[in-house]
Amino acid sequence: MAEGEILALRQEMTIARDAFFAVLPAAVPGGTFEVAGQDIGARDGERRWRIVLAPLPDLCLGALRLPRHGVEVWLAGFDAAATARFVERFELAFRRAGG
């Protein structure tokens, strides 16, 4: 956790890393970001966001193997309303069948 950050969302996602990055531009403001290992983030003036994308063991259902990742969304400089909008946009972008 960097100074001033709050944990806005923590969840496990059944998604491959490349599929996560395919959706991410629609899920975050501005659609641009930097990647450094498991950390993904961007800054816009006083606001900044960071996502930690950590691989988890695959979910196995018989012969079916589904990739999983732990996802944490950290925000700094967002008020309560802006935090809610960020999380809502993020979750909507990743819903199956277009939300």
Residue 70 domain flag: yes
Residue 81 domain flag: yes
Could you tell me the pTM of the whole model? Answer: 0.89
Task: Give, in order, the Cα–Cα distances in Å from 9 to each of 34, 62, 63, 65, 74.
Answer: 19, 30, 31, 25, 7
* pLDDT of 9 above 70: yes
Mean pLDDT of all residues in 12-27: 94
Question: Which position has the token pair 């960097």?
Answer: 2
* pLDDT of 5 above 70: yes
For residue 39, the domain's CATH number is 3.30.1370.80
- pLDDT digits 0-9 by tens, 23-62: 999 999 887 899 999 999 999 889 999 999 999 999 999 9
Percent over 90 (pLDDT), the chain: 83
Give the total number of structural domains in the chain: 1
Residue-number span of the structural domain to which 51 is assigned = 6-98
Q: Which run of H or E residues covers position 87? A: helix 80-94
Residue 1 domain flag: no
